[in-house]
Amino acid sequence: MKFQGSQNYVATQDLMLAVNAAATLTRPLLVKGEPGTGKTMLAEEVAQALDMPLLQWHIKSTTKAQQGLYEYDAVSRLRDSQLSDVDGGERVKNIHNYIVKGVLWQAFTADKPVCLLIDEIDKADIEFPNDLLREIDRMEFYVYETRELIKAKHRPLVFITSNNEKELPDAFLRRCFFHYIKFPEAETMKQIIDVHFPGLKKELLTAAMKTFYDVRNLPGLKKKPSTSELLDWLKLLVAEDIPLEALQSKDDKVAVPPLVGALLKNEQDVTLFEKLVFMQSRNR
């Protein structure tokens, strides 16, 4: 059971190693990297490549660890108890009917091993990762309402992604295998583009990649464009049939690229870029 990349996803050697290492250790794989470098997609692709079901848990600022385990729906139970004609009151007596299973519970009790994605863990409050330590370590938790211990039948392959908005606690890090997805180098980027646009003209690819890395390497950018932005931009270039000349300046100087809004996402960056182009044109 080894992950070797997939048809839709370009995985570098060290990323494949990390996935397989996490699987061997049966520890969660903590994936960090700039936005749009394929962290979320990794879990989807690994699940597909290894033919495992994927359970996803997308974390928000209001998400609590308990929601991933189970929730006791006391409100419904109260309502049903007042409408006692529901099932002649039978349903209300059984508390199991009001326990709503969370993703971790589903992952632990699935019939075959599953992949579990805990996406953007850094969005939750600081207690969130701490509250999941035992569940992630021992793969079990206790349901107080029914006095049951839920133990994983199979340890799920866990992927946890983070955009680094908050530091994660050391005790949590100790339980994970860590991988940082480096921003793809030109060679890897070509492969990624090829996956998405198999028939792209070579000249357009070269010119677009040059412009993209020029923009990205501009010092002082607030938000560097990433893989997904490059893909969006290429899609537009193709759809709008932008001529090659619009991307290539004859004298190797930087020019504001067409449809720059796909790459630069705030006005400071656009202004910075325009200033640079202006200064270059004056220095000629």
Binding site for ligand ATP (CB under 6 A): 9-10, 33, 35-41, 161, 163, 192, 195, 227-228, 231
Query: Closest by alpha carbon to 30, among 154, 122, 126, 141?
Result: 122
Token digits of residue 129: 């990762």
Between 38 and 113, name the residue whose CB sits nearer to ligand ATP. 38
Strands 70-72 and 99-101: antiparallel
Please give the Cα distance from 113 to 1 (Å, whole number). 12
What does 163 interact with, of ligand ATP, Mg ion, none (CB < 5 to 8 A by kind)? ligand ATP
What does 231 interact with, of ligand ATP, Mg ion, none (CB < 5 to 8 A by kind)? ligand ATP
What does 27 interact with, of Mg ion, ligand ATP, none (CB < 5 to 8 A by kind)? none
What does 143 interact with, of ligand ATP, Mg ion, none (CB < 5 to 8 A by kind)? none
Query: Does 76 sit near Mg ion (CB under 5 A)?
Result: no
Q: For the chain, what is the largest distance between any 2 Cα atoms, rounded to a whole number of angstroms?
A: 88
The minimum distance between CB 40 and ligand ATP, in angstroms, equals 3
Between 40 and 67, name the residue whose CB sits nearer to Mg ion. 40
Between 33 and 156, name the residue whose CB sits nearer to ligand ATP. 33
The minimum distance between CB 79 and ligand ATP, in angstroms, equals 38
Residue 99 CB neighbours (<10 A): 18
One-letter amino acid at 55 equals L
3-state secondary structure 168-187: CCHHHHHCCEEEEECCCCHH
One-letter amino acid at 65 equals A
Between 152 and 181, name the residue whose CB sits nearer to ligand ATP. 181
Residue with tokens 């199991």: 96
Q: Is 20 helix (H, G, I), strand (E, B) or coil?
A: helix
Q: Which of residues 18-47 bind Mg ion (CB under 5 A)?
A: 40
The minimum distance between CB 42 and ligand ATP, in angstroms, equals 7
What does 129 interact with, of Mg ion, ligand ATP, none (CB < 5 to 8 A by kind)? none
What does 192 interact with, of ligand ATP, Mg ion, none (CB < 5 to 8 A by kind)? ligand ATP
Query: Closest by alpha carbon to 47, among 3, 17, 8, 16?
Result: 3
The minimum distance between CB 120 and Mg ion, in angstroms, equals 6
Evaluated on CA atoms 223, 202, 235, 12, the torsion sign reads negative
Between 28 and 80, name the residue whose CB sits nearer to ligand ATP. 28
Contact (CB, 8 A) for 235 and 205: no
The minimum distance between CB 238 and Mg ion, in angstroms, equals 25
Residues that bind Mg ion (CB under 5 A): 40
